[in-house]
């Protein structure tokens, strides 16, 4: 598989994740505002399941990278590895503006599984940060495919 093809697949996968995050964020924000979102519930559930499956795969990679920054995964998508390294790097530096640095991927997954109002604001913050990381990776994929314009 060519590098351009691989980057195009990575871009598409990250865009699907961003779309799923957006659907969960919209649903969560509407619920917090007291607006009935029953019509979008199926989209929310599908998106939430997609995100949970991603976090299930992503969590162990982040844990390994955090334990050993020189760890080289076997059979792992290199772009997913890059994403994990970006998150681990942010966590090491612990910037105050990046709330996802304060929670593990496992904890985020557990909060997303709960789908409760009590933790909705936290989930919104964490998913917003994850979306920003994904957007940075997707941008890098576009640059590698199209080059700087």
What pLDDT digit, counting tens, does each position of 91-127 carry? 888 767 789 988 999 999 999 999 888 999 999 999 9
Could you give the number of structural domains in the chain?
Answer: 1
Q: What are phi and psi of 75, to 5 degrees?
A: 75, 15
First to last CA, the chain: 25
- Angle at 121 (CA atoms; ends 17, 12), nearest 5 degrees: 5
Structural domain for 106, as ranges: 3-146
- The rounded distance, in Å, linking the Cα atoms of 19 and 21 is 5
Q: How confident is the model at residue 9 (pLDDT cuts 50, 70, 90)?
A: confident
**pLDDT of res. 115:** 84
Cβ 132 vs Cβ 33: under 8 Å: no
Q: What's the helix, strand, coil split of the chain in %, to 5?
A: 80, 0, 20
Write the CATH number for 106. Answer: 1.20.120
């Amino acid at each position: 598989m060519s590098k351009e093809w691989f980057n195009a697949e990575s871009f598409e996968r990250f865009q699907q994740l961003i779309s799923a995050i957006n659907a969960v964020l919209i649903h969560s924000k509407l619920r917090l505002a007291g607006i009935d979102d029953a019509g979008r519930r199926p989209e929310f559930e599908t998106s939430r399941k997609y995100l949970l499956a991603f976090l299930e795969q992503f969590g162990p990679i982040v844990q390994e990278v955090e334990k050993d920054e020189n760890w080289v995964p076997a059979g792992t998508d290199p772009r997913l590895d890059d994403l994990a390294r970006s998150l681990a790097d942010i966590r090491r530096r612990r910037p105050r503006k990046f709330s996802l640095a304060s929670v593990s991927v496992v904890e985020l997954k557990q909060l997303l599984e709960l789908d409760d109002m009590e933790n909705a604001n936290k989930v919104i913050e964490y998913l917003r940060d994850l979306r920003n990381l994904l957007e940075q990776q997707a941008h890098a994929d576009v640059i590698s495919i199209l080059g700087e314009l």
